[in-house]
Structure 1
């Protein structure tokens, strides 16, 4: 693509035919079949599932590697840059809708369904005489007693960790824009370590909830929404940490310039999105 004075011509970079989509399809097929076999106690199920994960990892590394090579070769001009920015923007929007659905489920349960069931006391007395319209509620007659998770403790520490990670990532971005490579690398390294620390504390929190508080996926609506929201958020933190680790590896190899570093920006956008989701989650799941 020819680019001069910020004006691009009509040509658009088209990558060479790639084997990675079919490799990814094979990986997902193996994972789906392996999971189905494993749940039905078929001996080869777990091995097929492991093979699927391995093939998927190979696909991710190979496909991302090809994209990085194309970027480093200067194949991406203004049109591609615009497409990448729009693509990442729409991807994050889809993630916003993903979490909006789960927060909507939490809102419906807390604000609508539990009070309504309590309002119709004559009906629920016949079906479930011990029901109380309070939150967190043991919303099921066979739910064992459990303790709700406190906001202050590990959740508050994890909030401070994610807020700090957002600051260190922004500091790394400043270093990149201002040509301070050492600041870029150090800021990214600290952010990755904070992401790993967050995941470690969340694993400790889950173990404590499951073994000592009686809080699990079967603990009524509260347990289901708690693990659904925090679990999916933790998965996004893991993905974001992997993305930032990749950016750190690229920075150590001398990739990115202050003019061209959208790969870094895309990972930063994603991480800041994850931070914002956690703040909302902390308020409505842990605190209120």
Structure 2
């Protein structure tokens, strides 16, 4: 094998990045411990830990991108990346599956059980109707969040972003880089608008509907599902923005662009989760 040929399987050398990332995570964990115990230094240390981890990841991913651009990642590394991304998305499916299961259990199992004849002896005034503020009357009255208009607008935005990223992928495969850049930029923009609308929705929930994380099982499941999904939209949008920068820089070709594909897989996953969330949370 010549020195300029792609290795069978590229294995990078010793790296400082894992140790540096571990230090940041330890600082974050220790800072969070202090934060929840109301220390003066906890919040600052936790935020410093997050900033340090982001700094490390920036340089770590930069080294990985440089290795790819140098032609060190052959077919076998490409297969490993594909399997890694597939398993990562599977873990996210299980993550959201647990949250949807919590909603299903609260609404379809625990609620009827608390409203049966035997439970009436303990909570005589409890009505097993969803949404519910609990049997003890400790939760402040709130108004539920309906599907109109913001959730429906956000559904349209995410579905549209699925179309634009598919357009960008086809353009990239056909080596139409300008069209691919336009399609990907539109996807990032639609994701950003989605997050803006979700921020407005949360403001409306807190200030007009009195719907909070503490609003019983409805409030906790609502913010748990929609909040974590919003975080995943932010994460997927960040991936796509980095891919967009690399595409403008000319890192991808029609044959080699798995970074784009992996981010696109993740974005389609985010779209599908939202459709389930839109039905289960806002309509049911």
In the superposition, the TM-score normalised over structure 1's length comes to 0.94
| Partner-residue secondary structure (3-state), 1:64 | helix
For residue 96 of structure 1, the aligned residue among 73, 93, 96 is 93
Q: Judging changes above 3 Å, is the alpha-carbon distance between structure 1 residues 124 and 98 closer, same or farther for their aligned structure 2 residues?
A: same
> Cα offset for 1:36?
1.7
| Partner-residue secondary structure (3-state), 2:124 | coil
Q: Which residue of 2 aligns with 1:40?
A: 37
> Cα offset for 1:75?
0.6
Q: Which residue of 2 aligns with 1:167?
A: 163
Q: Which residue of 1 aligns with 2:131?
A: 136
Distance 2:135 2:33 in 1: 29
> Cα offset for 1:47?
2.0
Is the Cα contact below 8 Å between 1:24 and 1:56 reproduced in 2?
yes
Asked if residue 27 in structure 1 is aligned to residue 24 in structure 2, the reply is: yes
Q: 1:261-286, CA deviations, whole angstroms, 9 ceiling, x for partnerless residues?
A: 00000000000000000000000000
Distance 2:119 2:97 in 1: 32
Q: Which residue of 2 aligns with 1:209?
A: 205
Q: Which residue of 2 aligns with 1:5?
A: none
Q: 1:32-89, CA deviations, whole angstroms, 9 ceiling, x for partnerless residues?
A: 1112212223222222122111101111111111111111111111111111111111
Distance 2:134 2:21 in 1: 40
| Partner-residue secondary structure (3-state), 1:278 | helix
Is the Cα contact below 8 Å between 2:17 and 2:60 reproduced in 1?
yes
Distance 1:263 1:100 in 2: 26
Distance 2:36 2:102 in 1: 27
Asked if residue 112 in structure 1 is aligned to residue 109 in structure 2, the reply is: yes
Asked if residue 266 in structure 1 is aligned to residue 266 in structure 2, the reply is: no
| Partner-residue secondary structure (3-state), 1:161 | helix
Is the Cα contact below 8 Å between 1:37 and 1:46 reproduced in 2?
yes
Is the Cα contact below 8 Å between 2:213 and 2:223 reproduced in 1?
yes
Is the Cα contact below 8 Å between 1:140 and 1:220 reproduced in 2?
no
Give the alignment's Cα RMSD to 1 decimal. 1.5
Q: Judging changes above 3 Å, is the alpha-carbon distance between structure 1 residues 190 and 36 closer, same or farther for their aligned structure 2 residues?
A: same
| Partner-residue secondary structure (3-state), 2:115 | helix
Q: How many residues align?
A: 280
> Cα offset for 1:176?
0.5
Distance 1:197 1:188 in 2: 14
In the superposition, the TM-score normalised over structure 2's length comes to 0.95
Structure 1 unaligned segments of length 5 or more: list them: 3-7
Asked if residue 243 in structure 1 is aligned to residue 272 in structure 2, the reply is: no
> Cα offset for 1:164?
0.4
Distance 2:9 2:135 in 1: 58
> Cα offset for 1:99?
0.5
Q: Which residue of 1 aligns with 2:218?
A: 222
For residue 77 of structure 2, the aligned residue among 80, 84, 108 is 80
Asked if residue 278 in structure 1 is aligned to residue 259 in structure 2, the reply is: no
Distance 1:245 1:124 in 2: 55
For residue 66 of structure 2, the aligned residue among 55, 66, 69 is 69
